[in-house]
A = this chain, B = another copy of it.
Amino acid sequence: MTPPMAIDIQSTVNTQSATFSDRLTVNGVAARRSKAPKLAGGIAAHASSDMFKGPGCGKPSAKRWDHRLNEESKSRKASSLKRAAKYLKNPGIISLGGGLPSSQYFPIEFIDVKVPSAPHFTEQETKELGLVKRIGKYDIEEGKSIYDLHVGLNYGQATGPPQLLRFVTEHTEIVHNPPYHDWQCCMDVGSTSSYDLACRMFLTRGECILTEEYTFSSAAETVRPMGVQCVGVKMDEEGLLPSDLDSILTDWDPSAHSNAPKPWLLYTVPSGQNPTGATQSYKRRKELYRMAQKHDLYILEDEPYFFLQMQPYTGPNAPDVPLPASHEAFIEALVPSLLSMDVDGRVMRLDSFSKVIAPGFRLGWITAAEQIIERFVRHAEVSTQNPSGPSQLILFKLLEETWGHSGYLDWLIHLRLEYTKRRNNICYACEKYLPREIASWTPPMAGMFHWIKIDWQQHPSKESKSMPDIEDEIFHASIDRGALIAKGSWSRAETNNPGSDMFFRTTFAAAPADKVEEAIRRMGDALRAVFHLEDKTTNGTAN
């Protein structure tokens, strides 16, 4: 188990570097809240990021996206019943309007959760020093909290409850500080769902979407049944190439794409991309954004791994780089998001708690221009409605009432260190066990994935066997030796274009260190067997 981090929170939160003078800090949150009106968080309370954001003085307005919304999205109307909710503000009014059940019949008296007390984050420390937090049924009425089961277990708004939307909005401002004034956040039931909703807001059958050449397979599987083709943009170790994006769009030929019009929606995972593990550098992101402006693209920035950006890789025999010494240094150490440079409001950013808290909560949030958020909310109201109440309540207890922004950033720094160790472990194992004659890789800077390139041209039967057949041979040889790895071809954006290179995706997120090492050893054995190579490793037991 990991020892507590070497960060003294008390000594850091009061230090504002010059870079942060114009943006919200952890300390600034308390000051801002002290001047804000009391949070009104009753059943299905209306919420908007505008209630919690800074004034955004001097920032431009987002561009309008009417020309990008599809027929479905443009034709959505607000619900009559929801419009009538404004009368609930009338003093003394009794509502026989909405079909909400009485909390009297919610069969839960309270929920207790035991969570780590920052910065004591390991499972062992949580056992010893963790805090038990109670979520009661009528905590609001009893003055114990601003959020309770009576509210959280009833129907809610598609934006999420103000109690949690406030935290998420402030967090977004602290980390990204979008450079236009009318941005908003909206909670969702996970990025998979938000991506689905976004595609149904923007795309029409017969169109294309731009993605990385290797893309999150689920993202491609979402749009294909909608009659939308993926167009893959070439990549290097820093992710997609803006120059290739430019060529594709400049030279767009509808006849080569079943007469699809020139695409304008880009789906990208800038940090620790799935499957390649590539992280776009700041310079790369600036170029990408400039290209998006040139071609008037709208960007879906999917960032589940943003906070899994790791310490620089120094190799097995060099000392580790010291961890960021303050919250500000931590935020500065992260490659800035596309959202943080989005002067036009042309980015919908998808944030997720799946990789930094737990996937099972099925709760995340999006950030975009007010126009887009409004259309998204209208859509969510008649599909996903709102995230689970127990998920919202537990995350509220953890993030807002236990950790606060300070503790949450400490947690993210803790994860940074943990994932750095895991990444280092798999890289060391690869260096030790994989045949370097045919296997090559770049140590990932973020995420969960290690992407291994195989020089398939060295296969002894390369004249008679196709690349997909050789990929399949390696896949099964690895399974036969007890290691399950993912084929790169599963993630090809264009299914009819296999590319010329071969890759396998491995993940270092789930299995314990010794198992990861053993699986890489088995994969090394498989590769040597398939390619008829001699075992040069000292510990190798190739069969």
Taking Cβ atoms with an 8 Å cutoff, the residues of A that contact B are: 71-73, 75-77, 79-81, 84, 87-88, 90, 92-116, 121, 123, 126-127, 130, 137, 152-156, 189-190, 192-193, 196, 217-218, 221-222, 224-227, 274, 354-363, 381-392, 394, 398, 411, 415, 418, 448-449, 479, 482-487, 490, 505-512, 515-516, 518-520, 522-523
Quick one: given A111-B113, A484-B97, are A415 and B361 in contact (CB under 8 Å)?
Answer: no
**Chain B residues within an 8 Å CB radius of A94:** 482-484, 511, 515-516, 518-519, 522
Q: In the complex, A358 Cα to B77 Cα: how many Å?
A: 27
In the complex, the answer to whether B362 meets A386 with C-beta atoms within 8 Å is yes
**Residue of A226, A383, A387 with most chain B CB atoms under a 10 A cut-off:** A383
State which of B107, B359, B518 has its C-beta within 8 Å of the C-beta of A101: B359
Q: In the complex, A154 Cα to B359 Cα: how many Å?
A: 5
Count of identical protomers in the assembly: 2
Q: In the complex, A94 Cα to B482 Cα: how many Å?
A: 6
Q: In the complex, A385 Cα to B388 Cα: how many Å?
A: 13
State which of B77, B192, B390, B523 has its C-beta within 8 Å of the C-beta of A391: B390
Q: In the complex, A105 Cα to B357 Cα: how many Å?
A: 7
Q: Whose C-beta in chain B lies nearest to the C-beta of A110?
A: B114
**Chain B residues within an 8 Å CB radius of A487:** 80
**Chain B residues within an 8 Å CB radius of A386:** 362
In the complex, the answer to whether B109 meets A415 with C-beta atoms within 8 Å is no
In the complex, the answer to whether A384 meets B382 with C-beta atoms within 8 Å is no
8 residue pairs, one from A and one from B, having the closest CB atoms: A360-B389, A388-B388, A153-B360, A390-B390, A80-B490, A96-B506, A153-B358, A94-B519
**Chain B residues within an 8 Å CB radius of A518:** 94
In the complex, the answer to whether A384 meets B193 with C-beta atoms within 8 Å is yes
Q: Whose C-beta in chain B lies nearest to the C-beta of A508?
A: B96
**Chain B residues within an 8 Å CB radius of A222:** 382-383
**Chain B residues within an 8 Å CB radius of A359:** 100-101, 153-155, 389
List 10 A-B pairs, Cβ < 8 Å.
A80-B217, A94-B516, A96-B506, A96-B516, A101-B354, A101-B448, A107-B121, A107-B357, A107-B358, A384-B384
In the complex, the answer to whether B96 meets A227 with C-beta atoms within 8 Å is no
In the complex, the answer to whether B193 meets A358 with C-beta atoms within 8 Å is no
In the complex, the answer to whether B361 meets A389 with C-beta atoms within 8 Å is yes
In the complex, the answer to whether B193 meets A385 with C-beta atoms within 8 Å is yes
**Chain B residues within an 8 Å CB radius of A190:** 384-385
